[in-house]
Amino acid sequence: MTTRESSAAPQPSVTPAALRVVILGTSLTAGYGLETSDAYPALLQRKADSAGLAVRVVNAGVSGETSAGALRRVDWVLRERPDVFVLETGANDGLRGQPVAALEANLTEIIAKVRARAPQARIALVQMEAMSNLGGSYQRSFHDVYPRVAKATGATLLPFLLDGVAGKRELNQNDGVHPNERGEPIVAANVWRALRPILEAEAAARGRTASAVDGAGRAG
C-alpha cells in the first residue's frame, strides 16, 4: 500500500462511552422494600434510555447509612469512576436528630473527596428534609445545610427527593417513610427534572470531543 493510499484509508469513528452516573445514597436510593428494578435509580436508567442518552446508572445506596457512613464509604464508591456523582444522604441523620453542623461537615468532605478523586465529574446534591417532630428550628437548620453546601462546593442542588411523596400514606410503604411502587416514579421524576439537563450537557460535550478526535484522525 502506498503512503497516499494509507493516508486516504477510512479512520474508525470515535464513539463516546456511556456516562457513568453514580448515586451514593441511603435506603431511599437502595430501594428498601422494593425490587431493585422499581427503585428510582433503575427508573432513571429507563428515562435516560428513552431519551436516547448513553448513560449507565450505578445504584450505590445502603440502608441505614448516615452522612458519616457515606463519608467512610465514598472512597470505595469512587472506584466506579463517575462522570456524574449524585449524593443523597442525611435522612438518617435527621431521623436521629444528629447535629446539623456534623451533617454539613460530612457533605462538604464527601464532595471534596469526589473533586480530588474524580475532578472531571459533575456533582449533584439531593435536598433532604428533617421531620417536623424534631421542631421548627432543627427543620430550618437542616434544610439550610444543603443549599449552603451546594453553593460553597459548586455542586448542583437537586430538589427534595421525596417532594410530593412524603407524608402521603398511599405513596409510601407501611413504615410511612419509604416510597412504594406508586411513590417511586414520583421520586424518579423529582431527580430527573434537574438531572436530565446535566446529562444532556455532559453527553453533548463528549460528543463534541469525540467528533474533534474523529476529525483530527481523518485529517491525519
User: At 15, is the pLDDT very low, low, confident or very high (cuts 50, 70, 90)?
Assistant: low
Q: Would you call 63 a catalytic residue per the annotation? A: no
Mean pLDDT in the chain?
Answer: 90
What superfamily in CATH does domain 18-198 come from? SGNH hydrolase (3.40.50.1110)
Give, rounded to a whole angstrom, the gap between the first and last alpha carbons of the chain: 17
- Pick the catalytic residue from 6, 50, 137, 175: 175
CA pair distance 113, 116, nearest whole angstrom = 5
In sequence order, the β-bridge partners of residue 59 are: 23
Nearest to 114, CA basis, from 162, 149, 142, 148: 149
pLDDT digits (tens, 9 = 90+) for 158-198: 999 999 999 999 999 999 999 999 999 999 999 999 999 99
96-98-102 Cα angle (round to 5): 145
| 119, three cell numbers | 475532578
Position of cell 479512520?
11
Annotate 109-122 with b (16+ C-beta within 10 A) or e (fewer).
ebbebbbebbeebb
The one-letter code for the residue type at 64 is G
Nearest to 84, CA basis, from 213, 208, 200, 211: 200
- Pick the catalytic residue from 50, 143, 178, 211: 178
Q: Would you call 143 a catalytic residue per the annotation? A: no
- Pick the catalytic residue from 6, 13, 27, 75: 27
The domain ranges of the chain are 18-198
**pTM for the whole thing?**
0.87
Structure confidence at residue 67 (pLDDT): 98
Instruction: Give the mean pLDDT of 47-75.
Output: 97
> Is residue 211 pLDDT above 50, yes or no?
no
Instruction: Give the mean pLDDT of 21-34.
Output: 98
Q: Percentage of the chain surpassing pLDDT 70?
A: 87
pLDDT digits (tens, 9 = 90+) for 115-169: 999 999 999 999 999 998 899 999 999 999 999 999 999 999 999 999 999 999 9
